[in-house]
Structure 1
Amino acid sequence: MDQLNAMRAFVRVVEVGTFTRAAELLDLPKPTVTKLIQQLEGHLHAQLLNRTTRRVTVTMDGAAYYERALRVLGEIDELDQSMASSQARPSGRLRIDVSASFATDIILPALPGFLARYPEIQVDMGLSDRPADLIGENLDLAIRAGAIEDQSLIARRIGEMMLITCATPGYLAKHGTPQHPRDLEDGHLAIGYRRAGTSRIMPFTFASPKETIEIQGDYVVSLNDGTGYVAAGLAGLGVMQVPTFMAMAHIASGRLVPILTDWCTKPKPLHIIYPPNRHLSNKVRVFVDWLAELFARNALLQGKPLLPCPGGVAAEALAHQSEQAA
């Protein structure tokens, strides 16, 4: 029995929940994966998996073996990596998932420089705002804004994103300019932003030195993608709260007008997230370091508001709350 390959096959089946998907990710025939795990169970004299026609579940013995096998395989991978030449050029396919706005506004314009430095790396980039299944989709990393809900993921904080409330001149001419956040609940439309995979509309949040307010305004359109969200705002469909890096050019051109500037908005932490218990390859390491440097050079991705926020005390408190939540 090839015990190492059998252990790798077992770990992958546990992670993705099916023999078929595990075989695809391991680039092995499904019968080979089945045989490896049968041999492993025979070698251990223990049943590791319960199999039905619909699903695969882990036995108590299998759960215990999975935890130990994961550590052993991680140490082997780390040993192999440490023995490789430190001068070896990073290479291979890098699978990442980011929002379309980060891709188009931040990453893609700078990517030629990265690829010129590492010409043997190939980047497969998925664009979405939804929570990524890093293991099931075989992703190396993803970039996400907000608190990390899956605490099993490894996260590296690379910045903080501020929001600004704005609308088009045409919208404001028709509906008037709100003077207080509560005005958005009377005679105004708010463009709705839905978290991908849910129907929940995210509220607008405002803070002054005296109070914090959440507004759930009426809307005629909601979206689950940041790029589409900004396009709806530019079409005059309502008031929106948008990341400053996405609004900056449109405000400078006069297509958007900042409103309620006496109020701050809660910053959102930015993270690179990785699958748990995975050794980072050279290609992932250099890309993560490059991303961190890229985001660090952009003041609007490091918690700096596009316009001065009078509620400085509230802004500092909100930033502290955001840090604690992350």
Structure 2
Amino acid sequence: MSDRLQAYEIFAELMDRKSFSETSRILRVPQATVSKQIASLEAALGVQLFIRSTRRISPTAEAEELIPHVRHMLDARAEVLRVAHGELPKLSGKMRVAAPHSYGRRILLPQLVEFMDLYPDISIEVALHRSPPDLLDNKIDLALSGATILEGPYHQRLLSTHRWVVAGAPAYLDQKGRPSLPMDLEDHWLILPEVFPSDMLTFDSEDGRQSIEIRARLTGNDVDFSEGAAWQNAGLAILPDWMLGHDGALEQVLADYVLEPIPVRLVFPEAKIIPRRVRALIEFLVERAGRM
């Protein structure tokens, strides 16, 4: 073990014990080593971590700010070692996860099932929504956010990037024709979800950027509604790309013209210590997103 890593382990134990002698006993190292490593860590960081007196020690504000990061680092190292030895960390407990309706059913659900197979002692309560809930009021541990940016005391991490696409039912396209250029959409009624971020469709292609005004015949507050309307031959729907390819009911058009991206973010409340089960789910989802 490196001296710096040992210093962090001693620091974490000392934060719990508030005693050099007790820390020495628990870690089975000489008390002089405890004092030396703490002094070395303070010198390296350029801050005082403990106020020492003849009867007790007290952590400084800098130590209180540092300790959650140190515990996170030590936990992560321990999990890496367990995985390297073919072990999965023992995780248990309950999590509340929020996700947009369509993404939750089509993308998140199979990933959660796989995650729970790995960690059978974890239970997950899923809240599917059309508009993001307040994470703190609803005790949400982790939320997935698409087009809507969540404001508040939250950490946000990009999970993946999807695209808006234009799609229609094959029967509708056979009857009305398949557009080959963005300007051809002027001959079609469009079905638009409220979460679409603009009143213009802006396409990028090898020929440059083209924008057309949206003439929405039908709007709804849910992308599943837009998909259903397209099934009913009501027009061409603007949909996230994750809604295509599952059942083949809708056909994408203008595939050579790229609409704006949909960033999918992982959002979780700011906290000094993120529960290990939540961190495990975050890393699992990030790893799975890399396979898509």
- In the superposition, the TM-score normalised over structure 2's length comes to 0.64
Structure 1 contact 96–125 (Cα < 8 Å) conserved: yes
TM-superposed CA distance for 1:201, in Å, is 6.4
Change (3 A) 1:137 1:216: farther
TM-superposed CA distance for 1:202, in Å, is 5.4
State yes or no: 1:139 paired with 2:111: no
2:194 is matched with which residue? Answer: 194
Question: Match of 2:190, SS?
Answer: coil
**Alpha-carbon distance between aligned partners in 2 of 1:217 and 1:83, rounded to the nearest angstrom:** 53
AA partner of residue 283 (structure 1): R
Structure 1 contact 162–266 (Cα < 8 Å) conserved: yes
1:301 is matched with which residue? Answer: none
TM-superposed CA distance for 1:247, in Å, is 0.7
Equivalent position to 2:259, from 255, 265, 278: 265
2:119 is matched with which residue? Answer: 118
1:224 is matched with which residue? Answer: 221
Structure 2 contact 158–265 (Cα < 8 Å) conserved: yes
Change (3 A) 1:72 1:290: same
Q: Deviations over 1:99-144 (max 9, x none)?
A: 2222222222233332122122111111124233112222111112
Change (3 A) 1:75 1:122: farther
**Alpha-carbon distance between aligned partners in 1 of 2:100 and 2:262, rounded to the nearest angstrom:** 14
Question: Higher Cα Rg: structure 1 or 2?
Answer: 2
1:36 is matched with which residue? Answer: none
1:233 is matched with which residue? Answer: 230
Structure 2 contact 192–238 (Cα < 8 Å) conserved: no
Question: Match of 2:131, SS?
Answer: coil
TM-superposed CA distance for 1:282, in Å, is 0.8
Structure 2 contact 199–214 (Cα < 8 Å) conserved: no
AA partner of residue 275 (structure 1): P
**Alpha-carbon distance between aligned partners in 1 of 2:244 and 2:114, rounded to the nearest angstrom:** 25
AA partner of residue 190 (structure 1): L
Q: Deviations over 1:230-268 (max 9, x none)?
A: 222222221123222321134xx4x32322233122222
Q: Deviations over 1:164-220 (max 9, x none)?
A: 2221122223333323222323x3111111039xxx765433112343234343333
What does residue range 158-307 of structure 1 map to in structure 2 within 5 Å?
A: 158-185=159-186, 187-195=187-195, 203-250=200-247, 253=248, 255-298=249-292
AA partner of residue 257 (structure 1): E
Structure 2 contact 143–267 (Cα < 8 Å) conserved: yes
**Alpha-carbon distance between aligned partners in 2 of 1:271 and 1:113, rounded to the nearest angstrom:** 20
**Alpha-carbon distance between aligned partners in 2 of 1:295 and 1:117, rounded to the nearest angstrom:** 17
In the alignment, structure 2 segments of 5+ residues that lack a partner are 1-60, 83-88
Structure 2 contact 240–262 (Cα < 8 Å) conserved: no
TM-superposed CA distance for 1:78, in Å, is 6.7
**Alpha-carbon distance between aligned partners in 1 of 2:220 and 2:165, rounded to the nearest angstrom:** 18
Q: Deviations over 1:58-102 (max 9, x none)?
A: xxxxxxxxxxx9x99876767888899978732222011112222
Work out the percentage of aligned pairs sharing the same amino acid.
25
Structure 1 contact 74–279 (Cα < 8 Å) conserved: no
Aligned residues: 222
Structure 2 contact 132–150 (Cα < 8 Å) conserved: no
Question: Match of 1:135, SS?
Answer: coil
Change (3 A) 1:78 1:274: same
Moved more, 204-213 or 125-134: 204-213
Structure 2 contact 193–238 (Cα < 8 Å) conserved: no
TM-superposed CA distance for 1:149, in Å, is 5.5
Q: Deviations over 1:26-57 (max 9, x none)?
A: xxxxxxxxxxxxxxxxxxxxxxxxxxxxxxxx
In the alignment, structure 1 segments of 5+ residues that lack a partner are 1-68, 299-326
TM-superposed CA distance for 1:269, in Å, is 1.9
